[in-house]
């Protein structure tokens, strides 16, 4: 017997319609490229997203066609998110931090038909436009009077002249909830980038999940600042979730330095901010140097790479801000787990609670995970046994775009490429990316553990642990360290700092000091590059 409830396809358009109808006056604040602060509302975003849809119709952009962006977090990007997807096209967010040749490769692979770019990225657009063979329309995200006369890009129009004279009426089409809404390429640290193609259904379900109390706990009382870029995995879905709950959004544009972010957090009374650890490092540095405090910020979601314990402590103990440690990946839209305590943990002493908060967290309803050994055998949930992390759920990819038929799944599970433990309460902890695992004398050493200890040293800014070939032990770990500005760290003292914190055989054989550690397009340390930098390095004998 079938249920007798209404059948309604889940759609991105329902999110913007809802935000307009029920939270129309809620502000969307953006720091623009020009440096000024722009103020809009959900109602205006909705109306302008319909103008975007009309502009796309006028350009004869068909259903399912890809509309690409090369843009910072800002109100125009948000209008494109909703206008493009709600009208049945696919928004394809390109990562401007990639090499221009890689952007060309991705744009051609995606067959992008429209390219919208922020003026910061005009030099990239100028370099790539002749090679992006499928792009028919180039749109600069600026006012008409800011469009350069001699951009060298034939037919370039300003966003405002392209869309702002269009009608604000548009009837969103009824779409199959499984149709594509957004496309995002993995950063391609190994091989060519691959595209995850999110559907309206997966996007709405992911938005629901993010908003749950044990996830980001989003509500109409929040003012949310996504530092995490809209060009990488939809700013962790926050634009969609914010529309769903009617939260205020605050966009930092290109100014990601500690001072600029701090100013926005305070003036816009931001309650929740989200970003990768490297960005928070800059913010904490600014606060420390200027003896500042947060007056409004309550929680910060940190993910994308392991959040060093020292950072969780700083936010929690010094500034009274709750850190929500999250794990996810492009293939998961991206959220997989998030760390919040359970009822039974509430009376634990502070240091015991902290041990839990350091983990990447519990599964969110919708996501199932397991850890398996090399033979696919499930490993115990005892917090000690580790294995390859596999996931499944309605916002996990089934196949990559243009690789249909070659499913990455193993018996219906997506192998994440991460190695993890799971404790008896279901808290998952990433020990390594499988390709970064260090094997010493047949035992694994977690590079994240080694890095976290170095990061707890007061004079260390950044640390990366990599394995070096060793004649007897196969591999031994070394730690590569960037000291804080104006500080020196002594090798012997740092190695001594490890004593008592991990087993003796896990202590790195050496500490190497560098000016900077290479960071990739998505804010993660590039260990492949680091290994190249240290290609002539010899372990101490």
Residues that bind ligand ADP (CB under 6 A): 186-187, 189, 303-306, 325-330, 334, 360, 416-418, 430, 433, 522, 524
Residue 292 or 519 with smaller CB distance to ligand ADP = 519
Minimum distance from residue 348 beta carbon to ligand ADP (Å): 22
Q: What is the number of the residue whose Cβ is closest to ligand ADP?
A: 329
Which string of DSSP letters, residue by residue, matches 30-68?
EE-TTS-EEEEEHHHHHHHHHHHHHHHHHTTPPTT-EEE
Minimum distance from residue 164 beta carbon to ligand ADP (Å): 34
Contacts of 357 (CB under 8 A, 6+ apart): 312, 316, 323, 325, 339, 341
Structure tokens at 508: 């790195």
Residue 207 or 302 with smaller CB distance to ligand ADP = 302
Residue 189 or 316 with smaller CB distance to ligand ADP = 189
Read off φ and ψ for residue 34, nearest 5 degrees: -70, -10
With b for 16 or more beta-carbon neighbours within 10 A and e for fewer, the 244-266 pattern comes to bbbbbbbbbbbebebebbbbbbe
Q: Which residues make beta-bridge pairs with 444? A: 439
For the annotated catalytic residues, the residue numbers are 186, 331, 439, 444
User: What distance in Å separates the CA atoms of residue 427 and residue 292, rounded to the nearest whole number?
Assistant: 34
Residue 20 or 331 with smaller CB distance to ligand ADP = 331
For residue 93, count other CB atoms closer than 10 A to its CB.
24
- Report angle CA 476, 447, 335 to the nearest 5 degrees: 155
User: What distance in Å separates the CA atoms of residue 83 and residue 54, rounded to the nearest whole number?
Assistant: 9
The DSSP bridge pattern shows strands 223-226 and 195-199 to be unpaired
Minimum distance from residue 42 beta carbon to ligand ADP (Å): 28
- Report angle CA 447, 449, 454 to the nearest 5 degrees: 95
Residue 51 or 360 with smaller CB distance to ligand ADP = 360
Residue 195 or 243 with smaller CB distance to ligand ADP = 195
Contacts of 492 (CB under 8 A, 6+ apart): none
Read off φ and ψ for residue 394, nearest 5 degrees: -70, -5
H-only helix segments in 115-217 = 122-128, 159-163, 200-211
User: What distance in Å separates the CA atoms of residue 509 and residue 540, rounded to the nearest whole number?
Assistant: 7
- Cα 423 → chain centroid: 25
Minimum distance from residue 361 beta carbon to ligand ADP (Å): 8
Minimum distance from residue 333 beta carbon to ligand ADP (Å): 10
- Report angle CA 127, 255, 246 to the nearest 5 degrees: 110
CA-to-CA dists, residue 332 to 145, 193, 224, 426, 523, angstroms: 40, 16, 22, 19, 18
Residue 394 or 417 with smaller CB distance to ligand ADP = 417
Q: Is the distance from CB of 279 to CB of 227 less than 8 angstroms?
A: yes
Q: What is the 3-state secondary structure (H, E, C) of 392-426?
A: ECCCCCCCCCCCCCCCCCECCEEEEEEEEEECCCC
How many Cα atoms occupy the beta-carbon half-sphere of 334 within 13 Å?
A: 26
Contacts of 521 (CB under 8 A, 6+ apart): 95, 97, 98, 187, 232
Minimum distance from residue 336 beta carbon to ligand ADP (Å): 8
Minimum distance from residue 206 beta carbon to ligand ADP (Å): 14
Residue 41 or 186 with smaller CB distance to ligand ADP = 186
Minimum distance from residue 433 beta carbon to ligand ADP (Å): 4
User: What distance in Å separates the CA atoms of residue 25 and residue 120, rounded to the nearest whole number?
Assistant: 30
User: What distance in Å separates the CA atoms of residue 465 and residue 509, rounded to the nearest whole number?
Assistant: 11
Residue 417 or 518 with smaller CB distance to ligand ADP = 417
Minimum distance from residue 437 beta carbon to ligand ADP (Å): 11
Minimum distance from residue 258 beta carbon to ligand ADP (Å): 21
3-state secondary structure of 150: coil
Angle between helices 42-58 and 12-23 (to 10 degrees): 140
């Amino acid at each position: 017997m079938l249920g007798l409830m209404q059948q309604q396809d889940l759609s991105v358009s329902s999110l913007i319609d809802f935000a307009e109808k029920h939270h129309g006056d809620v502000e969307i604040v953006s720091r623009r490229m020009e440096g000024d602060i722009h103020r809009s509302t959900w109602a205006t975003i909705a109306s302008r997203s319909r103008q975007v849809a009309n502009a796309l119709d006028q350009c004869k952009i068909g259903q399912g066609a890809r509309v690409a962006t090369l843009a910072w977090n800002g109100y125009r990007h948000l209008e494109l998110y909703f206008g493009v997807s709600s009208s049945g096209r696919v928004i394809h967010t390109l990562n401007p931090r990639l090499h221009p040749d890689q952007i060309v490769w991705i744009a051609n692979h995606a067959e992008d038909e429209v390219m919208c770019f922020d003026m910061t990225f005009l030099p990239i657009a100028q370099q790539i436009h002749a090679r992006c063979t499928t792009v028919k329309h180039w749109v600069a995200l600026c006012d008409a009077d800011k469009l350069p006369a001699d951009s060298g890009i034939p037919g370039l129009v300003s966003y405002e002249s392209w869309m702002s004279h269009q009608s604000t009426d548009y009837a969103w089409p009824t779409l199959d909830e499984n149709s594509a809404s957004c496309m995002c390429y993995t950063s391609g640290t190994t091989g060519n980038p691959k595209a995850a193609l999110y559907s309206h259904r997966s996007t709405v379900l992911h938005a629901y999940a993010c908003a749950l109390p044990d996830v980001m706990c989003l509500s109409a009382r929040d003012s949310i600042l996504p530092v995490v870029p809209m060009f990488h995995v939809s700013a962790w879905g926050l634009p969609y979730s914010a529309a769903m709950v009617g939260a205020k959004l605050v966009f930092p544009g290109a100014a990601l330095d500690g001072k600029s972010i701090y100013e926005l957090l305070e003036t816009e009374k931001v309650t929740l901010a989200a970003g990768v650890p490297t960005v928070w490092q800059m913010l904490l540095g600014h606060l420390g140097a200027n003896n500042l405090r947060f007056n409004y910020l309550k929680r910060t979601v940190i993910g994308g790479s392991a959040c060093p314990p020292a950072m969780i402590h700083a936010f929690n103990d010094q500034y009274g801000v709750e850190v929500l440690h999250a794990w996810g990946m492009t293939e998961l839209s991206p959220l997989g787990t998030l760390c919040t305590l359970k009822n039974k943990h509430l009376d634990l002493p502070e240091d015991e609670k902290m041990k839990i908060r350091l983990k990447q967290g519990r599964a969110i309803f919708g996501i199932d995970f397991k850890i398996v050994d090399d033979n696919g055998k499930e490993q115990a949930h005892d917090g000690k046994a580790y294995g390859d992390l596999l996931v499944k759920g309605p916002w996990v990819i089934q196949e990559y775009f243009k690789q249909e038929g070659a499913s990455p799944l193993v018996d219906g599970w997506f192998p994440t490429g991460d190695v993890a433990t799971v404790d008896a309460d279901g808290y998952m902890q990433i020990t390594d990316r499988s390709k970064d695992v260090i094997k010493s004398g047949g035992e694994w050493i977690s590079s994240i553990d080694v890095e976290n200890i170095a990061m707890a040293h007061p004079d260390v800014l950044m640390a990366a642990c990599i394995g070096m070939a060793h004649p007897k032990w196969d591999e031994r770990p070394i730690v590569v360290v960037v000291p804080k500005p104006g500080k020196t760290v002594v090798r012997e003292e740092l190695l001594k700092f490890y004593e008592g914190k991990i087993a003796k055989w896990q202590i790195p054989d050496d500490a190497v000091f560098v000016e900077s550690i290479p960071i990739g397009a998505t804010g993660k340390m590039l260990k492949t590059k680091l290994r190249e930098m240290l290609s002539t390095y010899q372990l101490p004998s």
